Structure 1
C-alpha cells in the first residue's frame, strides 16, 4: 500500500534526567620517578638547544613542544601551568604545546620535585608525559608530499597549514608575521583560509626557498594542493522528440549544484535554473565539460531514463548553479574551500537554500584514517552552523586501476576493500556520502555478440558499482551513508579490457546543440544528485522540515537488504561498501496503514537523557507475524581536526525494554547508585547494526525484528548527550537532533497500524494534560 498519510510527530516524556557518568581510573604509573624525571629534563634541554641552533622563526619566541603522552590523555590539562598553550592533538598520543620560558622553568621544577619525592602538584601531567621533542621538518610533510616528494618543476604551488589558534587577534598576528616572512624569503603569497579551526596559505615557491618553510615554527603541515578531478565517460544516445517539461512551482525546494557550471540553455533546464554563478575569477558560469549539467539534470528530474520512456519530464527542484571547477574539472590558484564557502553562504542567505550537491573528490587523497582534511572539516562546520545538508559523492576508482586489479587476479568485490578508500571530502562526518550501485549488467558489446561468453559484467544488478569506494569515514563513522545508481562495468576476458558502454546512467548533454540531448555517464558523481533529488522532494513534502529530519528520514528508509550483494561479504564489509543501503522511496514522504513513521525534533543539553516510550498498540504483537522497527538519530556537531575525537558533541540512543517508564528512568539517572545498574544493555535480539558500529557517526540507525514480548514489557528509546570535555567550549548549549522511528507490520490482512498508533498518541496526550 503506497504512503498516503502524513508522518506522525510525537514527543518525549516530560522527565529529563542527568546522565549517569562513567569514570575510568588512569593506568598505573610503573616507571621509576627519578629516571622518568631525568629523561624528560634532558629532552627539554635538547629541544631548547635545537630550537635555538636551527632557528625556527615564528610570530613570537615561545618554544613549540611535541609531547608523546599516555594514550588518549586530555593534554589540554597542561594549560593549568601558566605559560603552556594547547595547540593540537595529532593522534592518540602526540600533542603540541606552545611553551613560554617561565612555563618550562615551572615544569622543570616540578620534574625535579617529582624525581626526588615521587609526589608533586598535578603529578598526573608528569606521569602522562612519555617523551618531549620538537615538531620536525619531517613532521611537517603532508601525505602527498611524503609520497611524491618536492615537485620537479622550477616553480610550484604548496599549501602551508599554520597551527589553528582560536583567538582571532593572535591568529591575525601569526598570519601577518608569516606573510612578512614569505616576502623576505621571496615566496609568493597567492591565497589564504583563516578561521577559528584552520589557517592555510597557498604559496608559489621554488626548490631553493621552499626548504625554509619546513623550519618555520608556526607551520603545521606542508603539502601539494589537491586536484579535485572528476572522472567520467560519455556515450551519446538519441531522442527524436522532445517532451515539454512540466512547470515547476515557485515553492519547490532550492538545490545548489556546486560543480563545473551548467548549460542553462538546455531545453530541459530552461525552466528550472534559479541562478547560475561562477566562483572562479574571470570564468563564465557556463559548463564546458558537461559534468555539472548532467548532475543538475538528475538532481531535478531523478530517473531521466524513466522520463524519456514515458515522454514525461516533471522537474521537482529549482537548480542554483555555482561553478567552482575550470574547463578541466580542476581547481585554479584560489582555494576551492573559499569558493565553496562563498557559494554556500550566498545561496543560503539569498535563497534559503539548504541542500548542496558536491560531486567532487580529491583522487590523490583517499581517506586512510587520521585527521580530516580542510574541506571535510569546513563542510562539517558549515552543516552545523547553517543547518544545511551536503550530499557528497564517495569518489571513483580509476578504470585503469580496476583493469589492473582484475588482470592480477583480484576478485570483485574484494578489491574494493583494499586500497579503495573514499576520497576527501566524502569522509566528513556531518555530510551524506553517496556510493554507487549497478542498474544494468549487459554491455553494448555483449548485446552485439550474445553467444560470446567473454563479455562478463563485473557487478550484478543491484550490487555495488565496480568503481565505488569504501569507508569508513572520520572517527570510524559509517561511510558511505547511502548508495544509488551510478553505473556498472564489464570485463572482456579475452582482451583483458574494461567495457563500459550500455552500463551507465543517462542524463543531460551540455553539447545538445551540436549533438544529442542526452548522454551516458558513470560514477558516484551521478548517484549523489539522485539522493539530492529525493532530499529536495522531501523538503517540499514535509512542512518546516529541518536538514536533520530529512537526513534521518532518508537513512530510516534505507536497507542493504534491498541490494543483491555477494554472499561472501561480512556485515562490517557491507557497511564499508554500501553503508545503510538503498533508499526505499515508497514511504519516504508519507506513511501508510502498515508502515508508520513517527518523528521528533528537539534540543538537548550536555549530560542529559531524553526518554521516548514507543506507542505500540496491543494488536501490534498479536500472532506470529514479522514486525520491524527502525530507529534513526540525526544530529550535527562542530568539529576540529586538532582533536583525535574530531567531533565536539556526542549523541547516541539506546533501545531498551522495561516494565515502566519509572524503571527505565532510574536505570539512566545520575542519582542511581552504580551498583544497582552496572551497565544498561540495549535490546539486541534480531538487531542488524550494533550500537558500537553506528555510534561513531552523527547519523545512527539500527533495525530490529520484534517478537511478542513476555509479560508487560514496554519499549523505550533513550537519547543521551555526552560532549567531550574540550568540546564543551564550542558546542551549543542546546544541540538539536531529530529522531525517526519507522514501524512496519506488512503481514496483517487488514492493517490498521496508522489509525491505532494515532489514537494511542492522542490518548497519551490527553493523559498528560
Structure 2
C-alpha cells in the first residue's frame, strides 16, 4: 500500500516562508512532483524510483534514456518560468513588474491545498502556497463576463496616485461579483539591513466617496511618515488578504466579493496606490510598479462589451 498527498495538495518537500524581512514567500506555487509512503517498504518513495511521483523531464544520461521522471522544487521553478514566458510572448513590451502582477492576479489556491492546510491560520497557509497556482490564460485574456485592466507607472517617495475603476450598472446587482487588485514593484534591497526593502507600497480600494475627498484625505498626509493613512470603514473596501497581511510584500493581491446590491456606491470606485519611503527615502528615485484590476461577474453578463468603450486607447 502506498500513501501520499492528493492532487493539488502541498508536497512533503514544499519550501515554506517567510522570506527576508517578513515578506510572504513563496510568491507562487507550481507542480514539482511528490513523495509517497510505501507501507510495505516502510519508507518514502519518489521519482525516479517511483516514476508516477514525479514530472517528466530530460535525462542527464540522454544516450541511454532520453526522458526520465524527477521530483523537487527545482522542477516547479521552471514550470512557473514557462508560464511567465507565455505572458511575455503575449505582452512583449511588458515590464517584469507587469508580468508579476498579471501572474498574481490569475493565481488561486487549489481547494485541495486549502483543505489540507485547514488546521493552520491564514498567515501560515500563505507561507506554504503564497498567491497560489497561476492560470496563464486567465492572466493573458479577459472574458465576456470578466474584465482585466492593467497599468504601469512610477511614484516618488511618499507620494500617491489615484486610479478610477469604472463599475457599470450590470456589475452592481445580479449575483456574486468579485473585484481583485494586484500590485507588483521592484524596490531596492539590502540584505545587510534589518529593513530589507528600501521602499514600501500599498493600495486601498475606495468606494462611495467623492474623488475630491479622496485626494484631500491622502494629500493632507503626504510627508507624515511611513504609516499609510486609512479612510473611514464605510469607504474602504475590506479586501482579503487584509492590509497587515499584504502590505509588506512586493507582490500584493487581494479581492472582495459582493452578493448584495451595491448601487449606492455609484459607478466609479477609486484605487489609491501609495509609495512609502523606507531607508531609500533620501535617494532621489521614482519607484516603478504595475497594477492589475479584475472585475468578474459570476452570471454571464457582457461586462467586456460594456466596459471596452470606456477604456483609454
TM-score normalised to structure 1 length: 0.37
Structure 1 residues 495 and 574: CA distance shift in structure 2, 3 A: same
Say if 1:460 and 1:564, in contact at 8 Å, map to a contact too: no
* Structure 2 partner of 1:717: 271
- Pick aligned residue for 2:166 from 604, 611, 615: 615
Distance 2:188 2:230 in 1: 29
- 2:257 corresponds to: 705
Question: In structure 1, what is the Cα distance between the partners aligned to 2:87 and 2:199?
Answer: 27
Corresponding residue SS for 1:742: strand
Distance in 1 between the 2:78 and 2:60 partners?
A: 17
Given candidates 22, 26, 30, the residue that maps to 1:484 is: 30
| 1:273-322 Cα shifts (integer Å, max 9, x gaps) | xxxxxxxxxxxxxxxxxxxxxxxxxxxxxxxxxxxxxxxxxxxxxxxxxx
**In 2: Cα distance, 1:461 partner to 1:717 partner:** 37
3-state SS of the aligned residue for 2:280?
helix
Q: How many pairs align?
A: 298
| Counterpart position of 1:523 | 72
Structure 2 residue 93 is matched with structure 1 residue 541: no
What do the CA deviations read for 1:553-604 (whole angstroms, capped 9, x no partner)? Answer: 0011001145443132322221010001111222122212122110010111
1:554 aligns with 2:100: no
What is the CA distance between 1:706 and its match in structure 2?
2.4
1:316-715 equivalence runs, <5 A: 454-457=1-4, 459-500=5-46, 501=50, 502-513=52-63, 515-565=64-114, 566=116, 567-623=118-174, 625-670=175-220, 679-681=230-232, 683-685=236-238, 687-707=239-259, 708-709=261-262, 711-713=264-266, 714-715=268-269
SS of 1:559's equivalent in the other structure is: coil
Higher CA-based Rg: 1
Cα distance in 2, alignment partners of residues 711 and 688 from structure 1: 22
User: 1:684 Cα shift?
Assistant: 4.8
CA shift digits 1:588-625 (9 cap, x unpaired): 222121221100101111121100121111111122x1
Which residue pairs with 2:308 in the alignment? 758
**In structure 1, what is the Cα distance between the partners aligned to 2:101 and 2:122?**
22
The corresponding residue for 1:108 is none
Instruction: Give the whole-Å Cα distance in 1 for the aligned partners of 2:8 and 2:309.
Output: 39
SS of the residue corresponding to residue 688 of structure 1 reads coil
Distance in 1 between the 2:111 and 2:168 partners? Answer: 28
1:622 and 1:541 map into 2 onto residues whose CA distance is 33
Aligned positions of 1:70-109 closer than 5 A: none
CA contact (8 A) 1:472 1:576 kept: yes
CA RMSD of aligned residues (A): 2.1
In 1, the alpha carbon distance for the partners of 2:232 and 2:187 equals 26
* Structure 1, unpaired ranges of 5+: 1-453
Can you list the C-alpha shifts for 1:86-105, whole angstroms capped at 9, x where unaligned? xxxxxxxxxxxxxxxxxxxx
Q: How far apart, in 1, do the equivalents of 2:54 and 2:110 lie?
A: 23
Aligned to 2:280: 727
**Alpha-carbon offset, residue 537 of structure 1:** 1.2
Show structure 1 runs of 4+ deviating over 3 A. Answer: 561-565, 681-685
Alpha-carbon distance in structure 2 between the residues aligned to 1:760 and 1:490: 53
Highest relative contact order (Cα 8 Å, sep 6+), 1 or 2? 2
Going from structure 1 to structure 2, the CA distance change for 1:681 and 1:486 (only over 3 Å counts) comes to: farther
Provide the rounded CA distance (Å) in 2 between the counterparts of 1:637 and 1:670: 25
Cα distance, 1:681 vs structure 2? 5.0
Q: Is residue 742 of structure 1 aligned with residue 291 of structure 2?
A: no
User: Taking structure 1 as reference, are residues 483 and 536 closer, same or farther at Cα in structure 2, changes over 3 Å only?
Assistant: same
**Structure 2 portions without partners, runs of 5+:** none
1:495 Cα offset (Å): 3.8
Q: Deviations over 1:166-190 (max 9, x none)?
A: xxxxxxxxxxxxxxxxxxxxxxxxx
Name the CA distance, whole Å, in 1 between partners of 2:110 and 2:263: 29
What's the offset of the Cα at 1:646? 1.4
Q: Mapping of 1:227-242 within 5 angstroms?
A: none
- Do the aligned residues in 2 keep the contact of 1:617 with 1:760 (CA within 8 Å)? no
Whether the aligned pair in 2 keeps the contact of 1:656 and 1:681 (CA below 8 Å) is: no
